[in-house]
Amino acid sequence: MRWNLPTNKVPEAWFNVAPRLPEPLEPPLHPATREPVGPDDLAPLFPMALIGQEVSRDPWIDIPGEVLDVLRLWRPTPLVRARRLEEHLGTPARIYYKDESVSPAGSHKPNTAVPQAFYNRAEGTRRLATETGAGQWGSALAYACALFGLECKVYMVRASYEQKPYRRIMMEVWGGSVEPSPVDEPGHPGSLGSAISDAVRDAAGREDSHYSLGSVLNHVLLHQTVIGLEAKEQLAAAGEQLPDLVVGSCGGGSNLGGICLPFVPEEEVGLLAVEPSACPTLTAGAFNYDFGDTAGLTPLLPMYTLGHDFIPPSIHAGGLRYHGDAPIISNLVKAGRMKAVAYPQEKVFEAAVTFARTQGTIPAPETSHAIRAVIDEALGAKEEGVEKVILFSYSGHGLLDLGAYDDYLAGRLESV
């Protein structure tokens, strides 16, 4: 059963969690001076509107009409009750998922790519530079740039560029230009951290260009709150009160923030981050100031981190291979408001195949982390014999990750 809101019921404002956090957010620090960064420090990289959102204390921030017009191409996304999965598990839990895979790029990423492209164009930027790992974020930004007439340059982690041509082609179909990273070490497989360095260098060095980031920063998580805001209304339309637990997979934290942040003020709602054992930032990292990139070009952010030179094993969930976490997510975990759990990839793919054979759709490896945790929570509810409402973000489809499924089904998956 699918619960659709009436036409046009896309939220008209983003929910800003900053004034509702358990502790105030600590500021980002300048990489050279270690003093808090100000708007002028960020102006070479971002438009003023986004810099303003980064530090805003307003509880709600209006979504511009031109952005809404684009979001309405695929939003509101469906809220689906996973009845077939429930039956298969024999659980008394009621499982709902918010299907972000229906966007043109196939994930939640366009929710922030679109406003970022909009604000940049509005302030006269002609070109955006960004990084991408497996390609989810790069394709979302290429899509958004196509709609707003901006040039788009994507630095793609070389290992993915060479092994996964489909996401590269997708970016090119939308008119984007893609280059393998690191640009100055042709033999190197690359990492997200080094691709960020390439993109920041590019944008900082060109008058016509800005930089765009697909996760981690406050304004990115802000834009993703449409997910949780819609889910709240849709759950009510489905006759549910608040969920007992909200679950999301966590790389940089934008998908997780999108589904969870609107529930932060409701203390009775549990929040759960799910990450790979191969990159266990929240479950095994330290809370510290650290750089967002490998080269140390970005401001220092207060976050759980494995160190900015940490290179995670090459698991299939490329979007979760980031050494740190969004400051907002880190703040919630540090304060105990959000819990975190980590899974090895074999358990994750086992859950993904169970989902595909019951609910039907094939989830992204990143999304399958959340599914693994949801299945375990639902089995726990069965053991305890308690009804429980679980909501999770189905952040993306796995149609460009079928090679990973092939490895899993053939028993070739690396145990990490």
20 binds its own copies (CB under 8 A): no
Q: Shortest Cβ distance from residue 200 to its own copies (Å)?
A: 27
249 binds its own copies (CB under 8 A): no
Q: For the sheet containing 127-132, what is the strand order?
A: 177-181, 151-157, 127-132, 209-211
| Binding-residue pattern over the window 129 to 168 for its own copies, x denoting contact by CB under 8 A | --------------x--xx-----------------xx--
Phi–psi pair at 41, nearest 5 degrees: -65, -30
Using DSSP, state whether 223 is helix, strand or coil.
helix
Strand extents, DSSP E, 306-407: 339-343, 388-394
CB 218 within 8 A of CB 17: no
Q: 83 Cβ partners below 8 Å, 6+ apart?
A: 1
Q: Which residue, 242 or 353, has its beta carbon nearer to its own copies?
A: 353
Among 6, 90, 124, 336, binds its own copies (CB under 8 A): 6
Angle ∠(162,135,215) on CA atoms, nearest 5? 140
Strand extents, DSSP E, 30-76: 60-62
For residue 392, give both structure tokens. Answer: 């999770």
**Nearest-CA neighbor of 151 among 68, 221, 212, 69?**
212
CB 181 within 8 A of CB 152: no
Q: Shortest Cβ distance from residue 324 to its own copies (Å)?
A: 30
Span interacting with its own copies, options 90-98, 178-186, 299-307, 405-413, rule CB under 8 A: 405-413
Beta bridge partners of 132: 156
Q: Which residue, 186 or 360, has its beta carbon nearer to its own copies?
A: 360
Task: Count other Cβ atoms within 10 Å, centred on residue 201.
Answer: 18
For residues 55 and 94, what is the distance between their CA atoms, to the nearest angstrom?
A: 37
361 binds its own copies (CB under 8 A): yes
| Binding-residue pattern over the window 320 to 359 for its own copies, x denoting contact by CB under 8 A | ---------------------------------x--xx-x
Strand 93-99 and strand 79-81: the pairing is antiparallel
Largest CA distance in the chain: 61
Among 174, 310, 343, 392, binds its own copies (CB under 8 A): 174
Q: Which residue, 175 or 307, has its beta carbon nearer to its own copies?
A: 175
170 binds its own copies (CB under 8 A): yes
Among 26, 56, 66, 74, binds its own copies (CB under 8 A): 74
Q: Shortest Cβ distance from residue 223 to its own copies (Å)?
A: 17
Among 31, 52, 64, 104, binds its own copies (CB under 8 A): 104
Instruction: Report the helix count and the strand count for the chain, using DSSP H and E.
Output: 17, 15
> Which residue type sits at 50?
L
Crossing angle for the helix pair 165-173 and 136-148, to the nearest 10 degrees: 10
Among 44, 64, 92, 175, binds its own copies (CB under 8 A): 175
Q: Which of residues 209-238 bind its own copies (CB under 8 A)?
A: none
Q: Shortest Cβ distance from residue 270 to its own copies (Å)?
A: 27
Span interacting with its own copies, options 44-52, 72-80, 90-98, 249-257, rule CB under 8 A: 72-80
Q: Which residue, 111 or 359, has its beta carbon nearer to its own copies?
A: 359
Q: Shortest Cβ distance from residue 320 to its own copies (Å)?
A: 20
Q: What are the residues binding its own copies (CB under 8 A)? A: 1-4, 6-8, 72-74, 80, 84, 102, 104, 106, 143, 146-147, 165-166, 169-170, 172-175, 353, 356-357, 359-362, 399-400, 402-403, 405-406, 409
